[in-house]
């Protein structure tokens, strides 16, 4: 398909602005004030991600991966440089504009889930759908939970769920609105091996089936290799970009 083709071509011409790129970062700097003076966290990052592409983001702890993800999500504003997502120029959007942009285009999964503890699983997943004015937010939310294998846990509160289950709720919430872009920050970091594996399978399944563009931060080299491209950060700069091997979907073992 066209989408696959574009993804491949973009991965070859990385760094240059492309018409098909869903994510375009141009010389992004981020400086934050701290007790010990200003800290340059991002120091000139340029990166394009094509539509439907999966990008693995790796690098030592403190290299700026999470910060970069925050910038991509519009939760942190760059000090200089330009950020374009899905054709929108972030520097032209205010806080509320960015929120609306996320609602329409972006889903996010965090290492520590960030579910609302006083809402049930179903309510948590329904929130973005409600905000977007979906016709049947709770029906769709239930469907999404079903899809991640939590159809029997709808009315449980996060505190009553295991870590893996919570992360599946978070994932269901992130993709419920069919976002074009899925951002994930070490989604398996707080989970044990097998549980983590389930989450990753679900994510790649969605990525494949819906053609979602994906940026995935991970410590796991194998997992990073499963992406179309692997971007390595060091000290707030892109150290190198390498093509990944892509993931062979074990079709028979998804969706548990």
Partner 1 sequence: MARSWTLATSYARRELRGGLAGFRVFLACLTLGVAAIAGVGSVSSALVEGLSQEGQTILGGDVALRLAHREATPEEFAYISQGTRVTKNAEMRAMAQAPRTDERTLIELKSVDGLYPLYGDVTLNPQMDLADALAKKEGRFGVAVEPNLMDRLNAQVGDILKIGELDVELRAVIEHEPDRVGGGLALGPRVFVNDAAMAETGLIRQGSLVQFFYRIQMPEDARTNGAVAAWVDDLREALPDAGWRIQDRSDSAPSVRRFVERVALFLSLVGLTALVVGGVGVGNAVNSYLEGKREVIATFKCLGAPGTLIFQMYLVQVMALAIVGVVLGLLLGSIIPFVVQQVAGDMIPIPTRFALYMGPLVLAGAYGLLTALAFAIWPLARAREIPASSLFRDLITPTRRWPRVPYILATGFSLLGLVGLAVGLTEERLFAIWFVVGAAASFVILRLTAVGFMALAKRAPRIRVPELRLAIANLHRPGAATSSVVLSLGLGLTLLVAVSLIDGNISQQVSDELPDRAPSFFFVDIGPDQVDGFEALVRAVDGVHEFNRVPMLRGKITDVAGTASENLSVPPNVKWALQGDRGITYSREMPEGSTLVRGDWWPQDYSGKMLVSLSEELAAGFGVGPGDEITVNVLGRNLTAEIANTREIDWTTVGINFVLVFSPGVLESAPHTFLATVSMDAGEEAALQRSVTRAYPNITSVRVKEALEAVNSMVEDFALAVRAISMVTLVAGVLVLGGAMAAGHRRRVYDAVVLKVLGATRGRVLTAYLYEYALLGFGTAIIASAAGGLVAWLVITQVMDARWTFLPGTLVATVVGAAVLTIVLGLAGTWQALSAKAAPVLRAE
Ligand X SMILES: Nc1ncnc2c1ncn2[C@@H]1O[C@H](COP(=O)(O)OP(=O)(O)O)[C@@H](O)[C@H]1O
Say which residues have a Cβ less than 8 Å from residue 76's Cβ, sequence separation at least 6: 30, 67, 70
Enter the DSSP assignment of 58: E
By CB under 6 A, residue 32 contacts ligand X: yes
Say which residues have a Cβ less than 8 Å from residue 193's Cβ, sequence separation at least 6: none
Minimal distance, residue 83 CB to ligand X, in Å: 16
Of the pair 102, 247, the CB lying nearest partner 1 is at 102
- Distances in whole angstroms, Cα of residue 192 to Cα of each of 75, 197, 215: 28, 9, 21
Of the pair 59, 177, the CB lying nearest ligand X is at 59
Report the side by side order of strands in the sheet with 237-243: 106-109, 181-185, 213-217, 54-58, 229-234, 237-243
Residues 133-162 that bind partner 1 (CB under 8 A): 133, 137-138, 157-160
Strands 213-217 and 54-58, sheet pairing: parallel
Cα gap 174→156, rounded to integer Å: 18
Find out whether 58 and 12 touch, Cβ atoms under 8 Å.
Answer: no
By CB under 5 A, residue 218 contacts Mg ion: no
Q: Binding partner of residue 73 among ligand X, Mg ion, partner 1, none, CB under 5 to 8 Å per kind?
A: partner 1
Minimal distance, residue 189 CB to Mg ion, in Å: 8
Name the segment binding partner 1 (CB under 8 A); options: 4-12, 106-114, 147-155, 209-217: 106-114
Q: Binding mask 57-76 vs ligand X (x if CB under 6 A, - otherwise)? A: --x-xxxxxxx---------
Minimal distance, residue 205 CB to ligand X, in Å: 26
Size of the site for ligand X (CB under 6 A): 12
Tell me which residues touch partner 1 (CB under 8 A): 66-67, 70, 73, 75-76, 95-96, 99-104, 106, 108, 110, 112, 114-119, 123, 127-128, 130-133, 137-138, 157-160, 173, 177
């Amino acid at each position: 398909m066209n989408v696959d083709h574009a993804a491949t071509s973009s991965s070859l011409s990385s760094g240059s602005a492309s018409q098909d790129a869903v994510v375009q970062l141009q010389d992004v700097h981020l400086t934050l004030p701290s007790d010990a003076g200003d800290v340059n966290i991002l120091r000139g990052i340029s990166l394009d991600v094509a539509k439907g592409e999966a990008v693995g983001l790796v690098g030592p702890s403190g290299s700026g991966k999470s910060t970069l993800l925050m910038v991509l999500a519009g939760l942190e504003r760059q000090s200089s440089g330009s950020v374009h997502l899905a054709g929108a120029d972030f520097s032209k959007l205010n806080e509320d504009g960015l929120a609306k942009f996320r609602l329409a285009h972006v889903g996010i999964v965090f290492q520590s889930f960030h579910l609302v503890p006083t809402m049930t699983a179903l309510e948590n997943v329904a929130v973005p759908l409600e905000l977007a004015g979906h016709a049947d937010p709770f029906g769709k939310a239930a469907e999404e939970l079903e899809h991640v294998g939590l159809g029997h846990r709808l009315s449980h509160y996060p505190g009553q769920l295991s870590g893996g289950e919570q992360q599946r709720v978070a994932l269901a919430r992130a993709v419920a609105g069919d976002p074009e872009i899925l951002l994930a920050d070490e989604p398996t970091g707080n989970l044990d091996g097998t549980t983590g594996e389930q989450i990753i399978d679900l994510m790649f399944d969605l990525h494949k089936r819906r053609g979602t563009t994906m940026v995935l931060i991970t410590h796991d080299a194998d997992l990073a290799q499963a992406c179309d491209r692997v971007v390595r950060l060091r000290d707030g700069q892109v150290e190198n970009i390498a093509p990944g091997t892509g993931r062979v979907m074990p079709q028979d073992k998804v969706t548990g």
